[in-house]
A and B are shown apart, each in its own frame.
Chain A
Amino acid sequence: MKPVTARLLIAIDMACALGAAAAAVSALALAALLIAEVIVTSFFAWSQPWAVEYSIYLQAVVMFGGAGWALRNGGHIRVQMGLSAMSPLALRVVDASVSAFSLGIVGFIAWALTSQAWRTFDLGSVSYYPMQTPVWIPQAALALAFILFALALVARLIRLGLGEDAEIPNTVGGTIE
């Protein structure tokens, strides 16, 4: 493998891992935010004006921040029928075509979400919730998550082209392997 390719793959893997770490931290922050809400509403006659709004943004990060990283460790689901009968080369070709098609879909979504966030920034839209947060910020985070997902598919295509393993074993659980 050329050093530049190797570095590109490492960069993509690290970016995707960062996305997953952000999602993990957001999951904990989401629990903390809502527990704080239970405590302040039950015992301090107050309610965090940001509780509902920030919880849905955190949820979006938890649900999608790790999408690219999960592709690398085989977290996404697909139907695999009749693949066991194929030769390794045929398998690789099929996987590469599926990955290329998926890259088209995810790339398009990433582009659509990015232009949505950009237009929101341009229009200066703020949220309807009490905090009136500029909406482009969470929209950009969502777009970034799908950009990471698209990059993970690029890395997958490169690895399949080079004859490397497309997925690494799952070490974190979440499903039984």
Chain B
Amino acid sequence: MTLTLGVVIALVIGFLGAGIWVGLAMLAAGMISLELFRDIRMDRFLASDIWASATAEELVTLPLFILMGEILVHTRISESLFRGLAPWTRLIPGQLLHVNVIGSTIFSAVSGSSAAGTATVGRITMPELLSRGYDRNIAMGSLAGAGTLGFLIPPSIPMIVYAVLADVSILDLFMAGTVPGLILAGLYMGWIAFRALSTPSLVPAREPPSTWRHLAASLLMLAPVTSLVLLVIGSMLLGFASITEAAAVGVIGALLIGLLERSLTPHTLWMSLLATVRTCAMIGVILVGALFLSKVVARLGIPAEVASIIQGWGLSPFLLIVVLMLFYLLLGTILDGLSTIVMTLPVTLPIVVAAGFDPVWFGVFLIISAELSQVSPPVGFNLYIIQALSNATQWEVARAALPFCLIMLGLTALITVFPEIVMWLPYQMRQ
């Protein structure tokens, strides 16, 4: 087992380090590991898995939200969002850096995926932040951290999957994720403010104080994006659109705003579409690679074996959680978040429940682990998206994300010591 795990990790790191394109490196590592250790029709497993991943029902929102983001960027609607926000954030330490966190939190209420959130919010915020002279590292790091909120704040695809597998209420889980999600967003903003105060060079000079006229004008600039967000959330909550369809509402809404503002032309539409195709191609190849590698690791029996080793140790409840956190951190380095949940749950859930933890609480714990795996190198899905957005190397992005990962770990500690943070809202809703 340790041999197979070691070989898989070595192959992934070796191929990535040799400069093979990320998705292809994961596919190659998976293909070779299977050939080495298992006697199966690898070609057919590969084809069947790529076909299943490419047509997974959970993914439909991803290209749509990316398209929505590109339309907002190409029609310059996103630019007016920033000009509208600038006078309001000038008094908070960190100023517009908070837009990543606020934007991602709001976007999380719309989307159930964290890749879509990172790609959409980052596409809008990163160019604006960099051109305004904000520090690239903290801009990338806050996007990496906040982009993962899509999992923790409902709706959330991994939560739906967990709820079905673990036999808990999806509503309870959605409620349970909300408070920790908001706390996490608050912690991120606190950290950004702290960094901005201690290192003023991270943030450009403060804009001159605004007049009332400016403030009123800025509200007008915020109106288009605000109404778009309301449109998408509203269509979902009022039962007009499913979660998937809400993404299409976002696209049509962005097109309508572009038409009303007369910035949408056949040319900007075509450019938005091509940019979407380019981003989707990048994400698509990495996605099939990450998902295939996850299946390979499952077929090598790695997650189940490690989990049963942990079970054999007979740990105290608190130590068990610490060890599980380390276990999920390790798995998360090479697996995507959803896969870690699906593969390990049959083994870890019974151990955790036997130790006296509530399955709803464990769901939130797992979702945070899944978020961490999205931003932990060498295989961190959101890292690749940010890498493409900011023209940095993956290691630079990972380093920038590190403080935000530590904050996530801190949140895990917090909910372990005070499980009420998780259980309070679902309990209140039941009364």
Contacts and interface: CB of A to CB of B under 8 A. Distances in A.
CB atoms of A and B under 8 A apart anywhere in the complex?
A: yes
Contacts of B18: 98, 101
Given A27-B63, A63-B63, A108-B43, A172 B271 contact: yes
B391 A177 contact: yes
B47 A59 contact: no
B73 A173 contact: yes
Nearest to B63: A62
A139 B51 contact: yes
Interface stretch (B241-249, B327-335, B353-361, B362-370): B241-249
B240 A38 contact: yes
A20 interface: yes
B48 A173 contact: no
A59 B248 contact: no
A6 interface: no
B240 A42 contact: yes
Q: How large is the interface on B (under 10, 10 to 19, 20 to 34, 35 or more residues)?
A: 35 or more
Contacts of A105: 20, 24, 27-28, 31
Contacts of A37: 245, 248
Contact of B24 (A60, A64, A106): A106
A75 B247 contact: no
Nearest to B67: A27
A8 interface: no
B55 A34 contact: no
A73 interface: yes
A34 B68 CA distance: 14
A79 B277 contact: no
B346 interface: no
B389 A109 contact: no
Q: Which residue among B43, B48, B248, B277 has the maximum number of chain A CB atoms within 10 Å of its CB?
A: B277
Interface string A66-110: 110110010111111101000000000011001001100110110
A17 B394 CA distance: 28
B137 interface: no
Given A31-B251, A77-B22, A113 B50 contact: yes
Given A73-B278, A113-B50, A30 B248 contact: yes
Interface string B67-93: 100100110000000000000000000
A52 B57 CA distance: 8
Interface in A35-67: 35, 37-38, 42, 52, 55-57, 59-60, 62-67
Contacts of A24: 270, 273-274, 276-277
Interface string A100-141: 011001101101110110000000000000000000001100
Given A56-B57, A66-B277, A176 B245 contact: no
B162 interface: no
B308 to A, nearest CB: 33
Given A55-B244, A172-B275, A31 B64 contact: yes
Interface in B21-56: 21-25, 27-28, 31, 43-44, 46-48, 50-51, 54-56
Q: Which residue among A32, A98, A149 has the maximum number of chain B CB atoms within 10 Å of its CB?
A: A98
A23 interface: yes
A147 interface: no
A52 B62 CA distance: 15
A63 B388 contact: no
Q: How large is the interface on A (under 10, 10 to 19, 20 to 34, 35 or more residues)?
A: 35 or more
Contacts of B56: 56
A174 interface: yes
A144 interface: no
Interface stretch (B169-177, B195-203, B284-292): B284-292
Contacts of B251: 31, 35
Nearest to A73: B278
B1 interface: no
A63 B249 contact: no
Q: Which residue among B17, B23, B248 has the maximum number of chain A CB atoms within 10 Å of its CB?
A: B248
A5 interface: no
A135 to B, nearest CB: 9
A27 B276 contact: yes
Contact of B284 (A57, A63, A170): A63
Nearest to A53: B55
A129 B59 CA distance: 18
A169 to B, nearest CB: 13
A34 B276 contact: no
Nearest to A95: B19
Contacts of B19: 78-81, 83, 94-95, 98
13 contacts: A31-B67, A31-B251, A31-B252, A37-B245, A59-B55, A66-B281, A76-B22, A76-B285, A79-B393, A95-B19, A109-B27, A115-B43, A142-B50
Interface of A: 20, 23-25, 27-28, 30-35, 37-38, 42, 52, 55-57, 59-60, 62-67, 69-70, 73, 75-81, 83, 94-95, 98, 101-102, 105-106, 108-109, 111-113, 115-116, 138-139, 142, 149, 170, 172-177
Given A31-B248, A77-B384, A139-B51, 14 more contacts: A20-B278, A24-B273, A24-B276, A27-B273, A59-B63, A62-B63, A79-B22, A81-B17, A112-B47, A115-B43, A170-B278, A174-B279, A174-B388, A176-B389
Interface of B: 16-25, 27-28, 31, 43-44, 46-48, 50-51, 54-57, 59-60, 62-64, 67, 70, 73-74, 126-127, 130, 235, 240-241, 244-245, 247-249, 251-252, 270-271, 273-287, 384, 387-391, 393-395
9 closest A-B pairs by CB: A63-B284, A34-B248, A174-B275, A24-B273, A174-B278, A66-B277, A70-B281, A116-B47, A112-B47
